[in-house]
Structure 1
Amino acid sequence: MARVLDTTPLTEPIDRRRLAEFVASVRRDPRYVYWRLSYPGCSLVLLGGALLVLSGFFALMAAVFIEGESQIDSPGDWVTFAVAMLVMAAIYVGCAIGFVSLVANPVQSEELYRLHRFAERNGLRFSPQDPAPAYPIEPFAHPKAVVRDRFRPLEGDAFDYGLAFRPSQGRSDASYSRWFIAIKLDRPLPHIVLDAKANNSRVFGSNMPTLQRDQVLSLEGDFDKHFTLYCPKGYERDALYIFTPDLMAACIDEANAFDVEILDQWMFVYSLLPPNLVDPAVQRRIFRIIDIVGAKALSRTDRYRDERAGGDAPAVALPGRRLRAGVSIAAVVGVLVICTAPFWGEIINGVTGN
Structure 2
Amino acid sequence: MATAKKNQNTTTNTDPIADAEQALADARNVLTIRQSDAEQAREDLAEMKDRIGWGDDSVTAEDMVRATFNVERADGLIKAGQRAVQAAERELSKALATEDPFLAEWLAEAIRANQWGYGLYGLPVTVGKPTEDVPTPSVWLYQDAPAEPVKGGVRRMADGRVSGTVSLVIATPGGEHVPDTSAIVNAVRNLAERSAGGSVSAHPGKHQLGTLISLGFRAVVPGLPVLPVKMFKVDSAHGALLRAISDASPKVYKQLRQIGPKDLVPSVTGKVEDAREAEPSIDGQVITRTFEGTLTLRDAGRGLVERIAQEFIGSEAFDAGRVLGAEITGYQVRDLEGHYGKYGTESTVKVRIVTRHRIAR
Per the normalisation by structure 2, the TM-score is: 0.31
- The structure whose Rg is larger is 2
Higher strand share: 2
TM-score, normalised to structure 1, is 0.32
- Structure number with greater CO (CA < 8 Å, separation at least 6) is 1
